[in-house]
Structure 1
């Protein structure tokens, strides 16, 4: 880690004019010697001036000190950029990016070659813009990303509605309602821009929930629709704990452009800061990528394994998720020929590698509270990983249909995505299913290895779901989330099947009972027999620059509390996050933000499910004092989802503008 800021030219505000007259705000980091060099674009809605500023200082100053220009650009309608925020990943956002890349390539400080990088939103749009093939874009580094906006993003999983839709939707609602900085856009203009943003604001989760099938809405921006459209070289990075693990391997397998992957133990965080540890020298890995594809220097990246992944030891639940012991392995191709599928069978004797017959039919009717010990769908790993990760699974196992193996007599290294095949019937036309693969220690502790969700109406298609015929058996296949995990000797495998999984996913409208035909139940475990012939990649320790100076008035905190209502058999899960209270010294801006999420359900009543998310953020300077408060809430009956939302904005503690939302959306095989 560099202890001082290197000699870098920082341009606080550069305006990029778009063809329609709007202007996007950029912060530039340029080498001090004024040389024309390749430029790295990061394109986000998260406010470059006061949102990602400290992270940008640490990362982008480092790139500028190492021979690259960087443009950190606010998406239209966010930060200081003009225009309005239409939604996530819209075509207009991509069109604007094409104009930005063209502008960058023509600047005197740019050599004409451009790369894109980013985590999550910035990882998504890097791939989406690459699929548009702007001539100057030569390479992409995409972190915690997706290739399929429906199947692997914070809205649906396996056709099931996940509660992250409302948590993420509440966050985007808040970002869409925030004002530009008067120091950037002018004291005579910022209020006009702010009011226009609020007047135009929509209830984002309602827009997403109106598309419960994988229709054209989700196909736009899903690069899996045509992998061959991407010609830029792609480095894809992510973690086992993150919600976006599967696309890492899908991209390596399917892209025709040069593509390499790194998968560590991390949550939703860049791997130089990711948790659980160990972290890696991510910035130098990026530089190797940029040097090869933007400067034409042979850095050896083409000889790197196609996939470098971290195989974790054991599967203990938290608090051990702050660090995961394990080892790095390299695979020359994906799927990897070194990994074989071992088929395990279900039956009266539990889970065995030998086929069992006459296993009969077993039944599960899970309490709606099954899933309370789950991890977050997308843990962030920001020092709170013990709270975000899965805890001891025994409570959820008790509400599930479980199949255990005998204690393992030799270690079992699982690398890849387990695939489950079942013949299952439900008592309702609409049913959901959660499947967990756990490792049970000799003392009975049940640690989650991986999991999968399936809306049984989506058993054959996310685009054309069909209700179930109650009582009829269907053959279904479910790929669980990929994992790299070693199960030690003495542990038992456990497959746990449940008919609910709250609060991660929204329940089916009826109280579901599942019947499982054990004679047609099996799971393929991707087993790596031996790693002796595989390379063991070595990464350096994280490098970077010191971020800008801050004054900390209050450190971040988070509390998670579960309240059980004995008489009503209810459970309420409260998550209260305070992101801290601090002043960015360079801009003299004090920022306070808090988030509250509440999930509620009744043990035997899926229609009691409800979710509410509140955000508050304030920005204060001697000449500027604003506060934004937003709320998003959802409940459902048997036929419809009912959503409400509100925005309240204040200047100097006086109401500036407000907006309320309410709508009902029919349930569509959900």
Structure 2
């Protein structure tokens, strides 16, 4: 069938029932007024005009050419939409999404069937909206998302406080501070901008008020009621991203209503993600939409339950453009058979279970608090040092146990589990467990990791202080992985009490006494599977090219000040200055983030993240500078933020979010 011609509507106003006017960009197949079409809806705060325009322009024209309308809407207070954003995935946001779905379905060009998709924020809210069952929503595609907002997002992980929480709060403060485009909103742009600057929230304050898995986090977590979720969901993620658990959790919870696709990728759409190989997302999506929005019997509903790329003995590198491996399919997903290992008396990992009632073999572990600088970002946007690098630097501050060289290949798919018994002289401490591939030359690749705040050992809703000095058995479930350990390699288990800067330290640093005789490692065998091919994109370079006025750059470094006894982890990101050739709008964002800690003092931890966001056309220039910071005492988290706005060289707005102290809750 020949591609259908289409029209791009750069901006269309949709007025909600409460009077808020939202800005939409629409890709409309020609003739839809005579022959109505299905539509795909995406609802984000990331600005259709500039923020997501490259990826939108890589996908929605392809959908439109296949006879599927695309409707990309900015959330209130974002881009050119009026109003003020009120948080992440709020009841208001989800209600607005349901209203927009009904609006789309009622248009004369619509066949009444709507799909919803997105990555990250849009991947989250499409699952959450689907759980509300708006009548016209027939299917979703969710990429790099979560089914559990507390435990698989940028905030907390098994009760540990992730540094990504400050990073993302700073990012959103910077993103939301940007001006609407005068070319769309006209002379009201400055008033809209000032209102936005005055009223935008600092998300970090609200997130820190909820350090347990309470109703705030249960809202929007579809794992609370998998049985009530009845909309087909294609759930996609990459092993190099923080959201790697979601596809398997979705299939386990939703059964045949969900299909999982997991590649080697960072936090990007599969048709332009790194590392390669990529996947033909356009073909996958169009087949999914045609099955559920048009009723085509094309087999999309009978795909294997899980398709996954098994990484084959990857080596860390300064940039990973391609990861060796192979695609497999599981027709039906079942809990894996686990291969068990134990630690024998000399510290070697051996096949089998720990010996019951073996004499206690205590070993004290107190990692330097800067252990973890090889961890990379929690979620990754580029295949460079944002990904985990060679683990030997972190293994130096860890207890490590490894097998003898393997006599055959070992293939795994699923979530590893570590179980052990320990003692602690404080009410809580953090424990990190990493699964590492040791290559014959000694290179160490992180395959998976898990962290646990020991006060959360029995659940995240009601933490329980440790009984000081008493034996406590704990279980750490690591993140999902798909990996082949090659013959001649070694499997290593690394344990540490710190994983900084990814995980912020607890108020005390007592160390742990671990019983080596109790340690058990269970790895999920790949088991029965089919070897498959996953089609790669026809277009190897699908993103549009914009006009470059200044190149981008990135830099990460760890600075250990031996005289002062402090370690700094520094991030510098510059997107470069690029002009959209169709709109003439040029944008640039700069991120500077610095984390600091003394390796022997958990209360010395500080973090500051600053975003500078520029927008310009000839004769018009605006800039915002948003800064957010965190520090701590033994009893409190201390956060503050500021936003400064400039029109040309003139400062026109300044807001200081006063320093706020929020009590630490067993964290």
Give the shorter-chain TM-score range. over 0.9
Structure 1 residue 157 corresponds to structure 2 residue 157: yes
Residues 280 and 542, structure 1, Cα contact 8 Å, conserved in 2: no
Q: Which moved more, 1:561-570 or 1:456-465?
A: 561-570
Q: Does 1:453 align with 2:451?
A: yes
TM-score, normalised to structure 2's length? 0.96
Query: How far apart are 1:287 and its partner, in Å?
Result: 0.5
Quote the residue 1:342 is aligned against.
Answer: 339
- Aligned residue runs from structure 1 range 227-242, under 5 A: 227-242=226-241
2:655 alignment partner in structure 1: 659
From 656, 666, 669, the counterpart of 2:666: 669
- Give 1:512 deviation, angstroms: 2.7
Q: Which residue of 2 aligns with 1:614?
A: 610
Determine the C-alpha separation between the residues in 1 that align with 2:245 and 2:662: 30
Within the candidate set 471, 474, 477, 1:476 is matched to 474
Cross-structure match for 2:60:
60
- Output the CA distance in 2 between the equivalents of 1:647 and 1:48: 23
| Alignment correspondent of 2:361 | 360
Give the structure 2 partner of residue 209 of structure 1: 208
Correspondent of 1:436 among 434, 446, 468? 434
8 Å Cα contact 1:413/1:528 also seen in 2: yes
Mapping of 1:252-651 within 5 angstroms? 252-255=251-254, 258-319=257-318, 321-335=320-334, 339-349=336-346, 350-354=348-352, 355-356=354-355, 357-358=358-359, 360-381=361-382, 385-529=383-527, 531=529, 534-543=530-539, 550-651=546-647
* Alignment deviations for residues 264-306 of structure 1 (CA, whole Å, 9 cap, x no partner): 0111111111111100111110011001000011111122110
TM-score, normalised relative to structure 1:
0.96
- Is this contact kept in 2: 1:363–1:401, CA < 8 A? no
Q: CA deviation at 1:590?
A: 1.3
User: How far did residue 8 of structure 1 move?
Assistant: 2.0
1:74 corresponds in structure 2 to: 74
1 CA distance for matches of 2:545 and 2:583?
Answer: 10
Query: Would you say 1:246 and 2:253 are equivalent positions?
Result: no
Q: Residues 429, 359 of structure 1: CA spacing in aligned structure 2 closer, same or farther, 3 A cutoff?
A: closer
Partner residue, 2:44: 44
Distance 1:527 1:583 in 2: 49
CA distance in 2, matches of 1:540, 1:121: 25
- 1:130–1:650 Cα change, 3 Å: same
Rounded Cα–Cα distance in structure 1 between residues aligned with 2:22 and 2:649: 29
Q: Equivalent residue for 1:31?
A: 29
1:87-120, CA deviations, whole angstroms, 9 ceiling, x for partnerless residues? Answer: 1110100000011001100111111100001000
How far does the alpha carbon of each residue in 1:161-181 deviate from its partner, in whole angstroms, 9 at most, with x for none?
A: 011111111111112212211
CA distance in 2, matches of 1:506, 1:226: 31
Listed one character per residue, the Cα deviations across residues 431-469 of structure 1 (whole Å, up to 9, x for unaligned) are 101110111122222211110000001000101001212
Gaps spanning 5+ residues in structure 2: where? none
Contact kept, 8 Å, 1:394 with 1:446, in 2: the verdict is: yes
- Mean Cα deviation higher: 405-414 or 28-37: 28-37
Q: Is the 8 A contact 1:394 1:445 kept in 2?
A: yes
Aligned residue for 1:16? 14
**Which stretch shows the higher mean deviation, 521-530 or 27-36?**
521-530
**Larger mean Cα displacement after TM superposition, 92-101 or 440-449:** 440-449
In the alignment, is the contact (CA less than 8 A) between 1:279 and 1:542 conserved in 2?
no
* Distance of 1:85 and 1:465 partners within structure 2: 32
CA distance in 2 between partners of 1:633 and 1:614 (Å): 9
Distance 2:131 2:152 in 1: 18
Q: Which deviations, in whole Å up to 9, do the C-alpha atoms of 1:384-441 show, x marking residues without a partner?
A: x121121211121111111111111111111110011111211221210111011112
Query: What's the CA shift for 1:347?
Result: 3.0
8 Å contact 1:330–1:537 — kept in the other structure? Answer: no
Distance 1:343 1:548, change over 3 A: closer
Give the 3-state SS of the residue equivalent to 1:516 in structure 2: strand
1:528 CA drift (Å): 2.4
Instruction: Give, in angstroms, the shift of residue 6 of structure 1.
Output: 7.8
Q: Deviation digits for residues 206-246 of structure 1, max 9, x if unmatched?
A: 21111100011111111111112322110000111110111
Q: What is the CA-CA distance between 1:255 and the residue it aligns to?
A: 1.2
**CA separation of 1:515 and 1:547: change in aligned 2, threshold 3 A:** closer
Give 1:544 shift.
8.9
What is the root-mean-square deviation of aligned Cα atoms in Å?
A: 1.7
* Structure 1 alignment gaps of length 5 or more: none
Distance 1:517 1:540 in 2: 48
Secondary structure in 2 aligned to 1:190? helix
